[in-house]
């Protein structure tokens, strides 16, 4: 599903900063993976590269057997919209659109009619227990509700991979568990899930923890949450 081979990334802001230093990583379809590391370890850069939001300097990145560096900018954007859904710590909801309109937005970019996209968006809000909040604006929603709207928006385009950057970072502990349980349920449908987090208890709810240190993979840990067959492999 996802294969990284010797990925390097350097930023040149005055002095060169070598952020990723030869990352080798394989993530299979349907895995539920977390990425942990200190600030500046390279975990956010890695997530941006996985999300086709940032380029890499050298190495190879294959997503579903497609070599990403061979895609043009337009092809990259189309492939990203088709393959990947994003969930962010700050929710990134559009303040002047209600919950339904926020969820439906990816379908607008796919050229789906307003009636059809609103119907699909309502289905996803219903799945996440937010049907009654469909016409509410983001400032009328709690943090947990906003994140559920964001998850619905990530899912509505039926991507194959969800990338979540600190999805519980702005939430209290009880709501964090609720959001993680939603993501676990989504993963159990067969969707590949990759989460960046600094919270060990959140990472422990995934099946595998990838520890990033100084731009390298320090270790990969299988958790007690992993299905038995994955622990045995």
Q: Are strands 84-88 and 216-222 parallel, antiparallel or unpaired?
A: unpaired
Mean pLDDT value across residues 28-34 = 96
55-112 pLDDT, tens digit per residue, is 999 999 999 999 999 999 999 999 999 999 999 888 999 999 999 999 999 999 888 9
Q: Is residue 212 part of a domain?
A: yes
Statement: residue 230 has pLDDT above 50: no
Q: Is residue 8 part of a domain?
A: yes
By residue range, what is the domain housing residue 11? 2-222
Q: Is residue 120 part of a domain?
A: yes
Q: How are strands ordered across the β-sheet holding 216-222?
A: 84-88, 161-165, 192-196, 32-36, 208-213, 216-222
Q: Is residue 228 part of a domain?
A: no
Reported pTM: 0.90
Q: Is residue 233 part of a domain?
A: no
Statement: residue 231 has pLDDT above 70: no
CB atoms near residue 136 (< 10 Å): 15
Q: Is residue 114 part of a domain?
A: yes
Q: What is the CATH number of the domain that holds 209?
A: 3.40.50.300
CB atoms near residue 158 (< 10 Å): 10
Mean pLDDT value across residues 119-142 = 96
Note the pLDDT of residue 225. Answer: 80
Q: Is residue 64 part of a domain?
A: yes
Q: Is residue 229 part of a domain?
A: no
> What are the residues facing 88 on neighbouring strands?
165
Q: Give the count of domains, the chain.
A: 1
Nearest Cα to 193, choosing from 36, 224, 99, 185? Answer: 185
């Amino acid at each position: 599903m996802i294969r990284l081979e010797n990925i390097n990334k350097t930023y040149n802001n005055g002095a060169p900063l070598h952020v990723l230093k030869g990352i080798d990583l394989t993530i299979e379809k349907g895995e539920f993976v977390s990425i942990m590391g200190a600030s500046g370890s390279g975990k956010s850069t890695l997530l941006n590269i996985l999300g086709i939001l940032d380029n890499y300097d050298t190495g190879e990145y294959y997503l579903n057997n497609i070599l990403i560096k061979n895609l043009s900018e337009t092809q990259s954007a189309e492939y990203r919209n088709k393959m990947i859904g994003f969930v962010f710590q700050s929710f990134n909801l559009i303040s002047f659109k209600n919950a339904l309109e926020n969820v439906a937005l990816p379908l607008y970019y796919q050229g789906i009619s307003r009636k059809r996209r609103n119907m699909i968006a309502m289905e996803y809000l219903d799945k996440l227990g937010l049907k009654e909040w469909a016409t509410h604006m983001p400032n009328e929603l709690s943090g947990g509700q906003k994140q559920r709207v964001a998850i619905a928006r990530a899912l509505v385009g039926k991507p194959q991979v969800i990338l979540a950057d600190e999805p519980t970072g702005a939430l209290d502990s009880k709501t964090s568990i609720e959001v993680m349980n939603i993501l676990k349920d989504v993963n159990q449908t067969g969707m590949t899930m990759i989460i960046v987090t600094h919270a060990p208890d959140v990472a422990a709810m995934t099946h595998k923890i990838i520890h990033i240190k100084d731009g390298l993979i320090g270790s990969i840990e299988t958790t007690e949450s992993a299905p038995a067959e994955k622990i045995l492999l």
